[in-house]
């Protein structure tokens, strides 16, 4: 196994960081350079990265989202936003319409670009011996965060990323069996038994922060209407009708 594959197969999210650890500027720069080299749709690079080191801003993020206290304790917090603003300025320059709110594909494009950039930042951070945790729950306060960070129209937060020096080591978390996730040539229905097996594996893994089994967690999550604040925000940002 080569070093890169070994790194990827040993990924873990870390949430407890040494709050006194300062990432050297050169390392942060390496992470940002690696992140920006991610592939993107049509080379559009439809994302931006907000590098948040300011304690006051991070305290506010944690006040809104106390479960993700690492947004303050990590060495740096990156917010990956999907960014359809630059291309809106291009439309203005050419004096053409910009009907991005008339379909969902632009959102898929920009969200994908932002996530690929984040994944590159994750791999780069881990290769430097740092730990990370993505923070999708920044969208719980999407409107407030957007105002705090002056996000313009056509921009929306996709995920945050806490990066820092982990305080404790963590076991690699088991994944779903390959047969439930990987399909050859055509999509194949998976055997329910495999999900039950995974459920048992995860119970045995006994991650303290997991209070529900895997199936119950998603029955509950998707059994509830999606939060309206995200739709409301995307409408305000001129991204959906």
Ligand X SMILES: Cc1cc2nc3c(=O)[nH]c(=O)nc-3n(C[C@H](O)[C@H](O)[C@H](O)COP(=O)(O)O)c2cc1C
11 binds ligand X (CB under 6 A): yes
- Is residue 140 within 8 Å of 64, Cβ to Cβ? yes
Closest by Cα among 49, 182, 36, 41 to 108: 41
Is 132 in a helix, a strand, or coil?
Answer: strand
Instruction: Pick the binder of ligand X from 106, 134, 157, 164 (CB under 6 A).
Output: 134
Q: What are phi and psi for residue 81, nearest 5 degrees? A: -115, 140
Closest by Cα among 88, 85, 143, 147 to 114: 85
213 binds ligand X (CB under 6 A): no
Instruction: Pick the binder of ligand X from 136, 147, 188, 227 (CB under 6 A).
Output: 136
- By beta-carbon proximity to ligand X, the closer residue of 23 and 133 is 133
Residue span 167-206 as binding mask against ligand X, x where in contact by CB under 6 A, dash where not: ------x---------------------------------
User: Min. distance of Cβ 206 from ligand X in angstroms?
Assistant: 14
- By beta-carbon proximity to ligand X, the closer residue of 39 and 66 is 66
216 binds ligand X (CB under 6 A): no
User: Min. distance of Cβ 88 from ligand X in angstroms?
Assistant: 25
User: Min. distance of Cβ 136 from ligand X in angstroms?
Assistant: 3
The window from 53-61, 128-136, 195-203, 219-227 that contacts ligand X (CB under 6 A) reads 128-136
9 binds ligand X (CB under 6 A): no
User: Min. distance of Cβ 4 from ligand X in angstroms?
Assistant: 17
State the CB neighbour count (10 A cutoff) for residue 195: 14
Closest by Cα among 71, 230, 241 to 158: 230
Residue in the structure block whose two tokens are 């306060």: 141
Q: Which residue is nearest to ligand X (CB)?
A: 136
Dist. CA 6–CA 204, nearest whole Å: 24
131 binds ligand X (CB under 6 A): no
User: Reading across the β-sheet that carries 155-164, which strands appear in turn?
Assistant: 47-52, 76-83, 155-164, 131-135
Nearby residues of 215 by Cβ (< 8 Å), 6 or more positions away: 195, 199
The binding site for ligand X (CB under 6 A) comprises 11-13, 15, 68, 133-137, 159, 173
């Amino acid at each position: 196994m080569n070093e890169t594959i070994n790194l990827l197969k040993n990924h873990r999210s870390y949430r407890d960081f040494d709050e006194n650890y300062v990432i050297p500027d050169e390392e942060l720069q390496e992470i940002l350079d690696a992140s920006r080299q991610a592939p993107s749709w049509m080379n559009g690079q439809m994302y931006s990265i907000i590098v948040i080191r300011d304690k006051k801003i991070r305290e506010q993020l944690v006040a809104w989202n106390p479960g993700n206290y690492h947004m303050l304790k990590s060495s740096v917090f990156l917010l990956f936003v999907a960014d359809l603003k630059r291309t809106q300025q291009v439309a203005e320059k050419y004096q053409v319409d910009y009907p991005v709110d008339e379909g969902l594909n632009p959102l898929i494009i920009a969200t994908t670009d932002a996530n690929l950039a984040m994944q590159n930042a994750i791999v780069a951070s881990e290769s430097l011996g740092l730990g990370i945790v993505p923070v999708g729950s920044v969208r719980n306060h999407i409107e407030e965060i957007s105002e705090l960070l002056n996000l313009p129209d056509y921009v929306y937060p996709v995920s945050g990323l806490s990066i820092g020096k982990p305080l404790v080591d963590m076991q690699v978390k088991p994944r779903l069996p390959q047969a439930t996730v990987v399909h050859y040539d055509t999509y194949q229905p998976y055997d329910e038994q495999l999900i039950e097996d995974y459920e048992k594996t995860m119970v045995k893994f006994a991650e303290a922060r997991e209070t529900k089994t895997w199936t119950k967690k998603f029955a509950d999550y998707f059994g509830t209407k999606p939060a309206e604040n995200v739709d409301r925000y995307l409408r305000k940002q001129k991204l959906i009708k």
